[in-house]
Structure 1
Amino acid sequence: MAQRIGGTRPGDVLSAKVNEPDTLSVGRVLRQKREQEGATLSEFAGRLKISSANLCDLESGRRTPRPQRIVQIAAALGLDAEALLELALEQLLRRERLTYKVTIVRNHLNM
């Protein structure tokens, strides 16, 4: 079920799935934070006690992290799980807003 998140104008409505983290956004945040601290894929995978391939799948959104893995990833990044998910949600909303704006521009150009 989707929850509506209101925008600034009528019709400017974004939707997000409730209780389902967007795996690509979690992965993007993970990759950004890992790269900011200068850790390689294999170094960070070692911290999580998973393979580099598994970490790559998490970062690319090909693999969905389970709740305990999200807690583990957040701790390895020096965050709590809630902060990690908030960063992922912010990224998802930015992407949705950009998609919405691109759609508006395309619709305007096709008039």
Structure 2
Amino acid sequence: MTTKYGLKEMEKEYGPLTFGKALEAHRKGEEMTLKQFAKVLGITPSSLCDLEKGRRIPSVKRAAKIARIIGMSEKTWVKFAIQDMIREADLEYNVSVA
């Protein structure tokens, strides 16, 4: 028996996937401390913490830069940031993040 467990199921269980949650998951997957990862990104540990905790949403330009630095899809990470901005504005639009 196979169980389909995708983004929708994950969001149901853990809440919406945000830029910050994705960034924290990536950092932990790389087994890096907050301080180490902040250095890689060229930002302060407190700025990284604010991003991961969702206290700050990166601009589209900053999201793309972070994606380039970590070698991930700029398009996906920019979509995460835009969706967070939409959520913060309390609008009910969805950006397809794939």
- Cα pair 1:34 1:77 within 8 Å, conserved: no
Q: What is the rounded CA distance, in whole Å, between the counterparts of 2:24 and 2:51 in structure 1? A: 9
Q: What is the rounded CA distance, in whole Å, between the counterparts of 2:31 and 2:69 in structure 1? A: 13
Runs of 4+ in structure 1 displaced over 6 angstroms?
none
**Which sections of structure 2, spanning at least 5 residues, go unmatched?**
1-15, 85-98
**Which sections of structure 1, spanning at least 5 residues, go unmatched?**
1-21, 93-111
The structure with more strand, counted as a fraction of residues: 1
User: Matched residue of 2:18: which SS?
Assistant: helix
Correspondence 1:21-36 to 2 at 5 A: 25-36=18-29
1:78 counterpart = 2:97:
no
Give CA deviations for 1:9-32 in whole Å, capped at 9, x if unaligned.
Answer: xxxxxxxxxxxxx8x700000000
Between structure 1 and structure 2, the one with the greater Rg is: 1
Q: What is the rounded CA distance, in whole Å, between the counterparts of 1:59 and 1:71 in structure 2? A: 16
The amino acid that maps onto 2:35 is: S
Return the TM-score normalized by structure 2: 0.59
Residue-pair matches, total = 67
1:59 counterpart = 2:63:
no
